[in-house]
């Protein structure tokens, strides 16, 4: 498998972030049209309108744990550690982030969202363990 395969989950996660940016834009426009907010409210958004608050909070979430994901994926690539297992775990992490986003911006049911977040958290940790093991255990020729 090509070492560059680790970049596809990163590209997919970035696409998700762009989708959520679009959702934030649409929901903020809805808030303006419905009178919940005015365009100037977003100059310094101290209080997000109710209609867009979950989308903006999800966007913030996509800049927290995923930062570690990007770092570990790039690190795996740099040290030639993008194994089949690492790529599969990376895709599972992205799937967990997609599921988390869908729940967060729709029903926002914490009972569903929290376990999905935990799965993603653990998958991210597994990627770091894979990196650590790759560095600690020399490959045999």
* Amino acid 45: pLDDT: 75
Across residues 40-54, what is the average pLDDT? Answer: 87
Query: Of residues 45 and 70, which shows the higher confidence score?
Result: 70
* Amino acid 138: pLDDT: 79
Summarize pLDDT for 25-40 with one digit per residue, the tens: 999 999 999 999 999 8
* Amino acid 14: pLDDT: 98
Percent of the chain scoring above 90 in pLDDT: 87
Query: What DSSP state is assigned to residue 94?
Result: H
Percent of the chain scoring above 70 in pLDDT: 99
Return the closest-CA partner of residue 9 out of 101, 70, 91, 78: 91
* Amino acid 18: pLDDT: 98
Distance of CA 90 to the CA centre of its chain: 11
Summarize pLDDT for 68-102 with one digit per residue, the tens: 999 999 999 999 999 999 999 999 999 999 999 99
The pTM for the full model equals 0.94
* Amino acid 132: pLDDT: 98
* Amino acid 42: pLDDT: 87
* Amino acid 141: pLDDT: 52
b/e code 52-67 from CB counts within 10 Å (16+ = b): bebbbebbebbeebbe
CB distance 89 to 130 below 8 Å: yes
């Amino acid at each position: 498998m090509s070492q560059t395969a680790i970049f596809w989950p990163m590209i997919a996660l970035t696409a998700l972030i762009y989708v959520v940016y679009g959702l934030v834009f649409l929901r903020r426009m809805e808030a303006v049209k419905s009178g919940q907010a005015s365009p100037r409210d977003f100059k310094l958004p101290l209080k997000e309108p109710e209609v867009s608050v979950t989308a903006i909070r999800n966007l913030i979430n996509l800049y927290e744990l995923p930062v570690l994901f990007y770092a570990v994926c790039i690190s795996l690539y740099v040290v030639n550690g993008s194994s089949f297992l690492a790529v599969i775990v990376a895709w599972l992490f992205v799937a967990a982030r997609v599921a988390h986003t869908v729940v967060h911006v729709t029903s926002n049911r914490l009972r569903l969202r929290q376990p999905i977040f935990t799965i993603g958290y653990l998958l991210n940790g597994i990627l770091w363990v894979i990196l650590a093991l790759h560095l600690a255990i020399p490959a045999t020729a």
